[in-house]
Structure 1
């Protein structure tokens, strides 16, 4: 069950949009903001609005095409196939922060969608660390400062309430029991 505060926060985030989320970030109002306040530019154009997934758990993963962990795309697709019908959303977020995603949208799509068969949404390339990080990643770093991306394929599991339920470093494969258990728990929470 979603509580009243989450519904109100989500509604305000949808109405106010990403500009208000950035303003709230600048003002340090992190504890009241949920992940639903953010959106990512989509790889194919348009936006991936996290508010569209309000009340559903989702996994946000920073990705790269030329990384030793790039084969995790296949594992993420398996998670998607296993849990999507139960409500899980996965969003791949390409980043060149670690020098392994120099490619443009066409090449990123080729790697993710054609080479690994990814069918979950992929964002356009963004920055995931430091002062110029995408607002979602600034929010996540404020909420979980010890769980920031140190490499590609870092995973944030957002619970139904819009807050970070778990964070998994790149070394934890998508097929790992810890991830599957956390997802199952997030899907069961009501």
Structure 2
């Protein structure tokens, strides 16, 4: 009985140490939990994306750049098996994502077939910016000037590239940086 108790105690201690080690090693840009789009599910960004190359994008469902969802999905599928993910953050900061989150989810998932992770609608600039975009702005010095700004984040959680709305997600500047970073 004592052996079983010791084994359980040891297992518990290893679990706590591993969790604390992961938390300590989590890059600042991922050290947050976000709600998934049109869901009550919470996404621990560190658990989901630690050690991956990310393209973080502020999206909008009613913007002239909304068609970029197709290229973002293409990019995600091209590199996802190599430790890469696109992560979308819908925002109405530029009055281009009006209506309910349910409507936003319909545009993303049904109209454009998005399979990459989409977080709940939030602000991406100013005093109300969500924690991820606040950290991105601290690192890069660049807040989104419009929808579909793209931020390339390396495996260590550092912002290494910023791309404006007018640059297609499949532009060679982005794909080459992803290739080099993977």
TM-score by length of 2: 0.83
Structure 2 counterparts to residues 110-125 of structure 1, below 5 A: 110-125=106-121
- Which of 118, 126, 129 is equivalent to 1:130? 126
Structure 2 counterparts to residues 1-190 of structure 1, below 5 A: 10-12=22-24, 34-43=28-37, 44-52=39-47, 53-145=49-141, 147-187=142-182
Q: Cα–Cα, structure 1 residues 153 and 10, in superposed 2: closer, same or farther, change >3 Å?
A: farther
Aligned equivalents of 1:153 and 1:169: distance in 2? Answer: 7
Q: Is the 8 A contact 1:13 1:36 kept in 2?
A: no
Aligned equivalents of 1:172 and 1:9: distance in 2? Answer: 38
SS at match of 1:142: helix
1:180 CA drift (Å): 0.4
Moved over 6 A (4+): none
1:6-65 per-position Cα deviation (integer Å, ceiling 9, x unaligned): xx8852376xxxxxxxxxxxxxxxxxx521212321112222222021111111100001
Q: Cα–Cα, structure 1 residues 134 and 9, in superposed 2: closer, same or farther, change >3 Å?
A: farther
SS at match of 2:129: coil
Query: Where do 5+ consecutive residues of structure 1 fail to align?
Result: 1-7, 15-32
Q: Is the 8 A contact 2:30 2:132 kept in 1?
A: no
1:112-158 per-position Cα deviation (integer Å, ceiling 9, x unaligned): 1111110011111000000111111111111111x220000001111
Aligned residues: 162
Q: Is the 8 A contact 1:60 1:156 kept in 2?
A: yes
SS at match of 1:40: strand
Query: Where do 5+ consecutive residues of structure 2 fail to align?
Result: 1-19
